[in-house]
Every structure is written in structure tokens, then in C-alpha cells.
Amino acid sequence: MNESHHAFERYEAIWLRVVLVMILVFLVLIAYTALNYGQTIPRGAGQIRVGEVRAGSEFANPRLEQVGNEYVAYVQAFAFGYSPGEMRVKRGRKVTFYVASPDVVHGFMIERTNINVEVVPGYVSKVEYTFDRPGTYKIICHQYCGLGHAKMLSRIVVEE
């Protein structure tokens, strides 16, 4: 074997270790977010006719409802905004969000949580979350949906 072959082997060994360390770091990060932010895996909650989001469904009257000790929110994600534009909840109570779009694909991401939902026309997205820390959380569209995408915001206020 010549000199350059040995040099290649050394680089290969170094990069193999770098890759293994990165895999470890990613696994630790996944475990960290799952433990600290809970599991907020969005679920499909059935289909909906796009034309019924604004008329003839629960979403035609977007709202936050208190049901016993919990909340249920029906949210319209549309070009370009959310309805309701603001929601207020008490901390420590479960909130179930149902989100639907009357037009194109939107996102439903809540800052400082791991809620990250895609809202596809024709389907209802569902995600549950319990806010433990009071404060104002921005709700952000993270799917490019047109010229007003960057202004597509809402918020949820968590009170003591």
C-alpha cells in the first residue's frame, strides 16, 4: 500500500467517527424534545369538503370552546390568516386543536412547543397540547402558501 492510501484510510476513520457522533447527538435531541415538550404527533381527524370549511361544518364558526376542564378549538387556516385570531386558555389544561383549510396547504406551528402541523385542504388536522408555562405564543404558518404567507399569524395566550 502506498502513502496516499494510508492517508485516505485515516480520513475515512475520522469521518466515520464524526458520523457516529452526529447520530448520537440527533438521538439525544429527539429524546430531549420528547421528554421536555411531550409528544405532539398530529393526527388526521377525517376528511372534509373544502367548500364546507367556510359554510356547513364546525369550522364555519371558528372558536375555542371550554369542555369541562379542557378546551377544544376549531381553527380555520386560510390565505392569509387564522380564525380565531387569538385564543385564551388557562395553563395546565389540555387543548385539542382541529385545523382545516378552505384553500391551499398551510402550516400550524406554535412557537416554544413542538406543535408542527400541516393543514392540507380536504383533511382535518388534530393535535393536542397542554401549556404548562403562561405567556403569549405565536401561531405561525410554516408552509409557503402565497404572497401573504409571512403575515399569516395568530396567537394563543396562556393565563395563570
Binding residue for ligand CUA (CB under 6 A) from 145, 154, 156, 158?
A: 145
DSSP state of 150: G
- Specify whether 78 is catalytic: yes
Interaction of residue 144 with ligand CUA, rule CB under 6 A: yes
**Least Å from the CB of residue 76 to ligand CUA:** 11
Residue 71 or 143: the one with the smaller Cβ distance to ligand CUA is 143
Binding residue for ligand CUA (CB under 6 A) from 110, 141, 156, 158?
A: 141
Binding residue for ligand CUA (CB under 6 A) from 143, 154, 156, 158?
A: 143
Residue 83 or 130: the one with the smaller Cβ distance to ligand CUA is 83
Rounded (5°) CA angle 107-113-119: 15
| Active-site residue identified among 78, 97, 108, 131 | 78
**DSSP-assigned letters across all residues of 55-122:** SSSGGGS-EEEEETTEEEEEEEEETTEEESSEEEEETTSEEEEEEE-SSS-EEEEETTS--EEEE-TT
Question: Of 101-120, which residues contact ligand CUA (CB under 6 A)?
Answer: 106
Look at residues 121, 124, 158 and name the one whose alpha carbon lies nearest to residue 139.
158
Structural contact between residues 160 and 134, judged by C-beta atoms closer than 8 angstroms? yes
Structural contact between residues 64 and 53, judged by C-beta atoms closer than 8 angstroms? no
Catalytic site positions:
78, 80
Residues that bind ligand CUA (CB under 6 A): 106, 141, 143-145, 149, 152
